[in-house]
Amino acid sequence: MQNPPSDYDAKRVAHWREVLRANGYRITPTREAVLRALSAGNYALEATEIFERARRFAPHLGLVTVYRTLDAMLSLGLVERVHCTGQCSLYVAAEEGHHHILVCRKCRRVWHFSGDDLTNLMNDVANESGFVIEDHWLQLVGLCPECRDS
Ligand SMILES: [Zn+2]
Ligand SMILES: [Zn+2]
């Protein structure tokens, strides 16, 4: 895993605070710590990794608060799950609007891209299966340029 960031993204945290408050969530110091931990860099993190990072901002934080804050943020679309093999769940700060994910399996950095040339594929699948396709998620996994060359 990459080194924990020394700082956090104050602008992103301010936006998250605003959305959470507008939806009836109180911003406690421990919740604030989780927001800060998630805000720096676009890395797919396990809940325990978020916990470790967030403890630097609130040493008495509990893991339960991490899960509850993640649940709230997932339901508000502020955070999204990144697929991984096995049982683990990874989380990354979400981007607004429809987009897809590119994730490096080594450093777990996440890039978002919006290009959508899936229409033909989806039309073919819809025609063959008789499905009405309403939504899709696309995550591409591989090695980023830095990890590919190291
Ligand atoms: Zn990488
Ligand atoms: Zn798409």
Could you tell me if 24 and 57 lie in one domain? yes
Ligand nearest to the CA of 99: 2
Structural element, H or E, at residue 19: helix 10-22
Which ligand number lies closest to the CA of residue 147?
Answer: 1
Task: Mark the residues whose beta carbon lies below 5 A from ion ligand 2.
Answer: 116
In a domain? residue 121: yes
CA of residue 107 to ligand 1 center, whole Å? 4
Q: Give the per-residue pLDDT at 15.
A: 96
Long-range contacts: 25-29, Cβ < 8 Å, 24+?
25/72, 28/65, 29/58
Provide mean pLDDT across the span 96-108: 90
- Which CATH number fits the domain that encloses residue 136? 3.30.1490.190
* CATH code of the domain in which 21 resides: 1.10.10.10
Residue 143 lies in a domain: yes
Distance from the alpha carbon of residue 144 to the mean position of ligand 1, in angstroms:
4
Asked if residue 85 belongs to a domain, the reply is yes
Whose atoms come closest to the Cα of 149: which ligand?
A: 1
Total domain count, the chain: 2
Is 2 within the bounds of a domain? no
Residue with tokens 């403890």: 55
pLDDT digits (tens, 9 = 90+) for 56-81: 999 999 999 999 999 999 999 999 99
Q: Indicate whether 31 belongs to any domain.
A: yes
pLDDT digits (tens, 9 = 90+) for 126-139: 999 999 999 888 89
Separation of CA 142 from chain center: 17
Residues 21 and 61 in one domain: yes
State the residue range of the domain holding 142.
100-148
